Amino acid sequence: MPKVTFYGHSCVMITEGKHKLIIDPFLNDNPQSPVKADDVDVDYILVTHGHGDHIGDTFSIGKRCKATVIANFELANLCVAEGLDIHPMHIGGAHDFDFGRVKLTIAHHGGGYGADASRYTGPPVGMLVTIGGKTIYHPGDTGLFYDMKLIGEMNNIDLAFIPIGDNFTMGIDDAVKAVEFLQPKKVVPFHYKTWEIIDNEPEEFASRVKGVEVIILKPGESLEL
């Protein structure tokens, strides 16, 4: 049974047995996170795109934990330059790791690293992570796209995270439609309230989703699948 812990914004930790993964480890500069980069211990770091609020503390955690970075080819190679172990992948591709399976999906967003986002890090991605027999969908930063219907049809999603903050990603209207397309068993809203410009209310999202269990996790809270 995987345990999923939310650290605020888009940072998600998944543990199952001896396996420890973190997705988008934005911790030290994340005003919502109850933990810092030095507090986490992981084997794998999954990164959806090069923006600072997603690549976050990947370099320092990767070095300290000797963790493998799973990301698209361009972003993974940025991590090689930092001396990290990588497993490059790309959109549409899946791979079986010791902990389970990862498949990269499209995401409609930008992809650049650095203060001005000028270092090319390839297209942003979403990730389907299957671990302990459960499938978790982390869409990264994205707008709504109709292929979410296909992702929902082809995968039995136990838990989906959905950005609701608007401005940089989909807002609540589109997030509600995304849940309709994906048909996950459970959904957790994320990428909101980190800054004033994405100050949307998760309760509003929860009240508008029909037929799918919405779980609002506070930063630091966990759920077991």
Distance of CA 148 to CAs 108, 116, 217, Å? 11, 30, 23
Helix 58-65 vs helix 73-80: crossing angle, to nearest 10: 60
Rounded to the nearest whole angstrom, what is the least distance from the CB of residue 10 to Ni ion in the complex?
A: 8
Name which of Mn ion, Ni ion, none residue 24 binds, using a CB cut-off of 5 to 8 Å depending on partner kind.
none
Rounded to the nearest whole angstrom, what is the least distance from the CB of residue 100 to Ni ion in the complex?
A: 25
Rounded to the nearest whole angstrom, what is the least distance from the CB of residue 54 to Mn ion in the complex?
A: 6
Q: Does 158 bind Mn ion (CB under 5 A)?
A: no
Q: Which stretch binds Mn ion (CB under 5 A): 23-31, 49-57, 153-161, 201-209?
A: 49-57
Residue number with CB closer to Mn ion (100 or 202): 202
| Beta-ladder partners of 14 | 4, 21
Out of 51, 134, 191, 193, the only residue in the binding site for Ni ion (CB under 5 A) is: 51
Distance of CA 73 to CAs 69, 78, 108, 123, 138, Å? 11, 9, 17, 10, 18
Rounded to the nearest whole angstrom, what is the least distance from the CB of residue 219 to Ni ion in the complex?
A: 18
**Looking up tokens 């390839």, which residue turns up?**
122
50-69 residues near Mn ion, rule: CB under 5 A: 53
112-141 residues near Ni ion, rule: CB under 5 A: 141
Residue number with CB closer to Mn ion (141 or 158): 141
Rounded to the nearest whole angstrom, what is the least distance from the CB of residue 124 to Ni ion in the complex?
A: 7
**Looking up tokens 């809203």, which residue turns up?**
189
| Beta-ladder partners of 87 | 70
Given a contact cutoff of 8 angstroms between Cβ atoms, the answer to whether 176 and 205 are in contact is: yes
**Looking up tokens 């608007």, which residue turns up?**
166
Out of 74, 141, 166, 174, the only residue in the binding site for Mn ion (CB under 5 A) is: 141
Closest by Cα among 40, 35, 12, 46 to 190: 12
Distance of CA 33 to CAs 29, 48, 87, Å? 8, 18, 26
Rounded to the nearest whole angstrom, what is the least distance from the CB of residue 26 to Ni ion in the complex?
A: 10
Q: Which stretch binds Mn ion (CB under 5 A): 11-19, 85-93, 133-141, 210-218?
A: 133-141
Interface with Ni ion by CB under 5 A: which residues? Answer: 51, 141
Interface with Mn ion by CB under 5 A: which residues? Answer: 53, 141
